[in-house]
A and B are shown apart, each in its own frame.
Chain A
Amino acid sequence: MQKPLAPSPAPGTGPTPAKKPTRRCAEVCLELLCVECVRLFHDKQSGPAAAAALEAIGYRVGQQLVERYTRDKPLLGDTLEIIKFVCKDFWQALFKKQVDNLKTNHRGVYVLQRTSYCPPPSPCPHPDMYPNTPSRHLAASRSRAAATPFLCPHADTYPNTRPAPPVHPPPRQGVYVLQDNGFRWLQRLAGPPPPGAGAGADPGREEAARQLALRYLHLPCGLVRGALGHLGVACTVEADPKQLPSCTFTVRIT
C-alpha cells in the first residue's frame, strides 16, 4: 500500500525567508561511513572496479556540494578563479582547512598543497586496528591501478539539444597539482611511528601505508573532479599520498 510522498514545504515562501541553522553531526560518523564504504566496495568488486565505484560516489557528492557551496556566491570567472575556489572555500568547508600550496606549470597545471598542520580529529580506529578485519584487506596491494586517473564518464551525460557557446572563457589546458600536507581524511591512517623506528622509517611499512591510503583517496578525488567538472572545468584528478598525512592532487584539464 503506497501513500503519496508528501512534498516538503517550499523554502522561504514568506516575504523574509528565515535562514535554517546548518545541521551538524559528529565527524566520526563521516569517517566511519567512508571507511566502511571503502571496505564494502573492495570486498565486492575487483580493485579497479572498486576504485571506479568510489570515485563515482565522490563525483556525485562533489557536484551536489558545489551547487550548495556556490549558491550564495557571485559568479566565478576563469579556470584559475574556479581552482582557487576549490582550494579555499571548498577545501575549507570539506576538510576544515584551505589547501596549502597551489602550483602551476603556467600551462594550467595547478598543484594544491596544504602545509599547515591540522590536528587529527577524535581518535577513530582505522582498519589496521580492527580485530576482525580479514588480513587480505590489510595486505599491501602492489597494484598501481589505484593511481590511474579515472576518466569514467559520469552517469548523467547531458543530452545535446544545442551546443552551448561558452559563457565563461574556455579552461586552459594543462595540469594543476594541489598539495595538502595535512589531509584530514588521511589523518587517522597517519599513525605514530612504531617504537624503535629511527630517523629512517621502514620503507616497506611506508609503502604499505601509502597503498592503503590510496584506497581512501578515490572518494576525495571524485569529490574534486565532480566539483570542478560541475563548475565547467572538465578534468581528471589523481591523488598521491606523498608522506602521510601529506597528499597531492593532480588536476589535469581535459
Chain B
Amino acid sequence: MTIACVAFIGPQNNPMYLRSLEPASDDQYMKLHYVVHCSLDAVEEKVLLKRGPGDVQESYLGLLYPTEDYRVYGYLTNTHVKIIVLLDDEAPVKDDLVMRVMKRLHNLYVDTTSNPFHKFGMPISSPRFDAALESIVSVYPRPGGSVGGFKT
C-alpha cells in the first residue's frame, strides 16, 4: 500500500490538515487539495445512499472513486470530520488494510482533540500530531523513501 496523501476535513468542509507523503511542489499541493475537495461530494453521496431503514452506516466508507493518479478512500466520523487518504497503488489494495490505517488516523485525531489547547475547526498545528501521523504511515514505506511535507 502506498499512501500519497492524508487529509482531515472539518464539519464545515474546512480543511484542517493535509499532508503529502512525498515531496510536492505548490502546484502538486493545489492538485491534492482539489482531489480531496472533490472527494467530499463522494463522501456525502455514499452516506446518503446507504442510509436505508435498519441500515447501519459505519465510519469507514471504503473506496470513494479512482482518479487518474490516485485511489481515494474516505472515512466519516460522528462529529462530521472527514478523513481522506489517497493511495498511489496501481494494484487494488485490501480494504482491511486501508480501514486499519484510517482507524489509527481517527484514534490519533481523537487523542489530539483531547488536548485542552486544541481548537476545534481550526487547522491542526501540532508537532506531536505530525510525528504520530508520520509513524502511522511509515509502517507502509514508499519506495525510495518518503520525505513528505505539510502545507495548509
Name A residues whose Cβ lies closer than 8 Å to a Cβ of B. 4-5, 7-14, 17, 60, 63-64, 66-68, 70-71, 73-77, 154-165, 167-168, 230-232
Verify A71–B110 contact, CB threshold 8 A: yes
A76 contacts across to B, CB distance below 8 A: 78
Q: How far is the CA of A160 from the CA of B11 in the complex (A)?
A: 10
Q: Which A-B residue pairs are the 4 nearest by beta carbons?
A: A10-B135, A7-B131, A70-B78, A158-B121
- Of all chain A residues, the one with the shortest Cβ separation from B56 is A74
Verify B12–A158 contact, CB threshold 8 A: yes
Q: How far is the CA of A116 from the CA of B44 in the complex (A)?
A: 40
A154 contacts across to B, CB distance below 8 A: 120
A10 contacts across to B, CB distance below 8 A: 104, 108, 131-136
Verify B78–A66 contact, CB threshold 8 A: yes
Q: Whole-angstrom distance from the CB of B46 to the nearest CB of chain A?
A: 10
Given contacts A5-B127, A167-B48, contact A158 B79 (CB under 8 A): no
Q: Which of A68, A156, A162, A231 contacts B110 (CB 8 A)?
A: A68
Verify B51–A17 contact, CB threshold 8 A: no
B122 contacts across to A, CB distance below 8 A: 156, 159
Give the A-B pair count, Cβ closer than 8 A.
Answer: 122
B107 contacts chain A at the CB level, 8 A cutoff: yes
Task: Flag the segment in B87-95, B111-119, B141-149 that touches A.
Answer: B111-119
- Of all chain B residues, the one with the shortest Cβ separation from A4 is B127
B83 contacts chain A at the CB level, 8 A cutoff: no
Instruction: Report 16 cross-chain contacts, Cβ distance below 8 Å, ordered by A residue.
Output: A5-B128, A8-B132, A10-B134, A12-B104, A60-B116, A67-B110, A67-B114, A75-B47, A75-B76, A156-B121, A157-B121, A158-B11, A164-B40, A167-B48, A230-B120, A231-B78
Instruction: Knowing that A70-B78, A158-B10, A161-B12 touch, tell me 4 more A-B residue pairs with CB under 8 angstroms.
Output: A5-B127, A10-B132, A68-B110, A75-B58
Q: Whole-angstrom distance from the CB of B78 to the nearest CB of chain A?
A: 4
Verify A162–B131 contact, CB threshold 8 A: no
Question: Interface residues of B, CB < 8 Å — how many?
Answer: 48
- Of all chain A residues, the one with the shortest Cβ separation from B123 is A159
Q: Which of B43, B107, B116 contacts A11 (CB 8 A)?
A: B107
Q: Whole-angstrom distance from the CB of B92 to the nearest CB of chain A?
A: 20
Q: How far is the CA of A64 from the CA of B118 in the complex (A)?
A: 10
- Contact flags B39-63 to A (C-beta < 8 A → 1, else 0): 0100110011001000011110000
Given contacts A63-B120, A75-B59, contact A161 B113 (CB under 8 A): no
Given contacts A11-B132, A77-B51, contact A70 B10 (CB under 8 A): no
B113 contacts across to A, CB distance below 8 A: 63-64, 67
B3-34 at interface with A (beta carbon < 8 Å):
10-15
Verify A161–B13 contact, CB threshold 8 A: yes
Q: How far is the CA of A77 from the CA of B50 in the complex (A)?
A: 11
Q: How far is the CA of A95 from the CA of B77 in the complex (A)?
A: 24
Verify A13–B59 contact, CB threshold 8 A: no
Verify A158–B14 contact, CB threshold 8 A: yes
B71 contacts chain A at the CB level, 8 A cutoff: no
Verify B79–A70 contact, CB threshold 8 A: yes
Given contacts A5-B128, A158-B14, contact A12 B107 (CB under 8 A): yes
A167 contacts across to B, CB distance below 8 A: 43-44, 47-48, 76, 80
Residue of B13, B78, B118 contacting most chain A CB atoms (<10 Å) = B78
Q: How far is the CA of A67 from the CA of B10 in the complex (A)?
A: 13
B134 contacts across to A, CB distance below 8 A: 10
